Amino acid sequence: MPEQMTIDPQAAREMEREGLYKNYAFVETPLGRMTLVQRGDYVIELRLHGGALPEERAGETRLLKRAKKELTEYFAGRRKTFSLPLAPLGTPFMVSVWETLAQTVPYGRTVAYGELAKRCGNPKAARAVGMANHRNPLPIFIPCHRVVAAGGALGGYGGGLPLKEALLKLEAGE
């Protein structure tokens, strides 16, 4: 049985507090260069438009190589789920949104902001769900591109609407 993706927000807070260094690696995708960032034993960020920060170290660790491989397979249409250890840094509400999204909205499907708010146990929090998605440090892995406005309109996306549209088309097999 393949490994499942894990989301560990407690690890994110501990690594932030300890000041562990970060490694990064670039991955070339059909939608442009993206940057994977690792801290400790977790992937903590996927930057959709590339770039690295001065305090980060370049270097392809075993985990970053695995993350690159999984992303490459995703863009080739050969991967629908990920099996990486993730540690996104966010508030408890944000983390609950990200976990609910990752667990309940499969590849090729979408969910409205309001419906995701209901699934999180807070039906009046559609705007807050939108903000949590906007601050998602691990897009694609935590698939915030699958969250759309009521009626199916795209809504927003931190990586830009053309990127969101391209990801949804990829998952629709277009």
State the DSSP string of 2-58.
PPPPEE-HHHHHHHHHHT--EEEEEEEETTEEEEEEEETTEEEEEETT----TTEEE
Q: What is the pLDDT of residue 2?
A: 45
Taking the alpha carbons at both ends of the chain, their separation in whole angstroms is 29
Is-catalytic flag, 120? no
The answer to whether the predicted template modeling score (pTM) of the entire model surpasses 0.85 is yes
- Annotated catalytic residue within 87, 111, 132, 144: 144
Q: What is the pLDDT of residue 138?
A: 97
**H-run or E-run covering 112:** strand 111-112
The DSSP secondary-structure symbol of 109 reads -
97, 116 contact by CB (below 8 A): yes
Q: Can you give the length of the chain in residues?
A: 174
Structural domain 6-86, CATH architecture: 2-Layer Sandwich (3.30)
CATH number among 2.40.30.260, 1.10.10.10, 1.10.599.10, 1.20.58.100, domain 92-172:
1.10.10.10
Q: What is the pLDDT of residue 3?
A: 65
Examine domains 6-86 and 92-172 and report if their fold is the same: no
Q: Tell me the mean pLDDT per 10 residues along the chain, length 174.
A: 72 82 92 94 93 84 97 96 95 95 95 96 94 96 95 87 95 90
Query: Domain coordinates of the chain in residue numbers?
Result: 6-86, 92-172
